[in-house]
Amino acid sequence: MTTPRALPPLDPAAFVGIATERIGRKPFVVASVSSTNDVAFDFLAGGLPEGTTVFAGGQTRGRGRKGRSWHSAPGLGLWFSTILRPTIPRENYSAITAMAAVALRQAIETATGFAPRIAWPNDLVAGPRKLGGILVEARNLDPESPAFVLGVGIDVNQTLADFAPEIRDRATSLAIELGRDVDRAGLALECLECLDVWYSRLLRGDVAHIDEELRAGAALVGQRVALEIGNQIHRGVVRSVSLREGITLLLDSGEERAFPGEQASMRLLPT
């Protein structure tokens, strides 16, 4: 049996004096939780302010989109959730996930020099392998005072042996891509700072800028995919992605058709 690597825990002192306007102004660091999103919802119910962020060394029941489980190797990745109370039009709610994807892509590139791609609507990828995920949730959403929890999981210092056998063929980490371990505290700080900048843009209504960066960083454009919506699967080549127009496919039938991105899941098909 392989002995787990012992890496330093995330140091709360890394966040002292953080120069953000909202995100991460009140950070918490805990050893292990069921899910950082669950803890953030407890904080939300307790009246803690926007930008309150909880980091966990590990999660026992981390989750992703559509209820999928998220493997959270203790001490090797970044797992955190942030309270958001955006005063934006309802039609811009779907831009929250895209905003986070753009911000996290920028943060990772700034901190490490490696720029992942954005797999619509909520994954960060390196080639065909998943590097990180974003989960935005709302419960009992009050239209007069909307509140969300933004959950983030980034695989940072895992080796392939650190991943569960059933996901090793489709998972990766920054350490695998770079060939070296990454300073998690430095990356965490960069994530909060970039999220703060891009969240401020969303609050100002600058959705066009978010959409532009989303399209610039989009994965799978030009690739043949299977796009699943509900119980239907559509096969074709991705022509473009856009917050407003969704995912446009050139279907195998020759028809070009746009699908709502927030309802879709895509997987790459062999060429």
pLDDT in tens, 99-140: 999 999 999 999 999 999 999 878 999 998 999 999 999 987
Confidence bin at 1 (pLDDT 50/70/90): very low
228 and 98, same structural domain? no
233 and 199, same structural domain? no
Residue at 5 is within a domain: no
Locate 143 and state its tokens. Answer: 């239209």
174 and 118, same structural domain? yes
176 and 136, same structural domain? yes
212 and 93, same structural domain? yes
Decide: 241 and 247 in contact? Cβ < 8 Å: yes
Coil, helix or strand for 73?
coil
Question: Chain centroid to CA 164: how far?
Answer: 20
228 and 207, same structural domain? no
Does the bond joining 121 to the residue before it have cis omega, within 30 degrees of 0? yes
Q: Rounded to two decimals, what is the model's pTM?
A: 0.90
Decide: 199 and 84 in contact? Cβ < 8 Å: yes
Note the maximum CA span of the chain: 57
Residue at 2 is within a domain: no
Give pLDDT, residue 9.
67
Spatial CB neighbours of 57, under 8 Å, sequence gap ≥ 6: 9, 10, 29, 30, 31, 32, 74, 75, 79
Find the helix packing angle between 184-203 and 95-112, rounded to 10°.
140
135 and 53, same structural domain? yes
Decide: 55 and 152 in contact? Cβ < 8 Å: no
The arithmetic mean of pLDDT across residues 31-39, rounded, is 88
Decide: 62 and 73 in contact? Cβ < 8 Å: no
Query: Looking at the 3D structure of the chain, how many domains does it have?
Result: 2
Across 235-269, b (16+ Cβ under 10 Å) vs e yields ebbbeebbbeebbbbeeeeeeeeebebbebbbebe
243 and 127, same structural domain? no
Amino acid at residue number 103: A
Residue at 48 is within a domain: yes
Coil, helix or strand for 60?
coil
The arithmetic mean of pLDDT across residues 33-41, rounded, is 91
Give pLDDT, residue 7.
61
Spatial CB neighbours of 36, under 8 Å, sequence gap ≥ 6: 54, 55, 56, 59, 62, 79, 80, 81, 151
Helices (H) and strands (E) in the chain, counts: 5, 12
Amino acid at residue number 229: I
Domain that holds residue 189: 12-216
18 and 85, same structural domain? yes
20 and 80, same structural domain? yes
Domain boundary among 178, 199, 216: 216
Model confidence over 157-201: pLDDT tens digits? Answer: 999 999 888 889 999 999 999 999 999 999 999 999 999 999 999
Spatial CB neighbours of 169, under 8 Å, sequence gap ≥ 6: none
233 and 112, same structural domain? no
**CATH number of domain containing 143:** 3.30.930.10
Q: Does position 4 have pLDDT exceeding 60, yes or no?
A: no
Residue at 4 is within a domain: no
196 and 236, same structural domain? no
What distances in angstroms separate CA 89 from CA 50, 112, 118, 139, 142, one per listed residue? 18, 35, 24, 18, 13
The arithmetic mean of pLDDT across residues 1-27, rounded, is 77
Residue at 130 is within a domain: yes
Q: Does position 59 have pLDDT exceeding 90, yes or no?
A: no
**CATH number of domain containing 240:** 2.30.30
More confident residue, 33 or 61: 33
The neighbouring-strand residues paired with 53 are 27, 82
The neighbouring-strand residues paired with 126 are 129
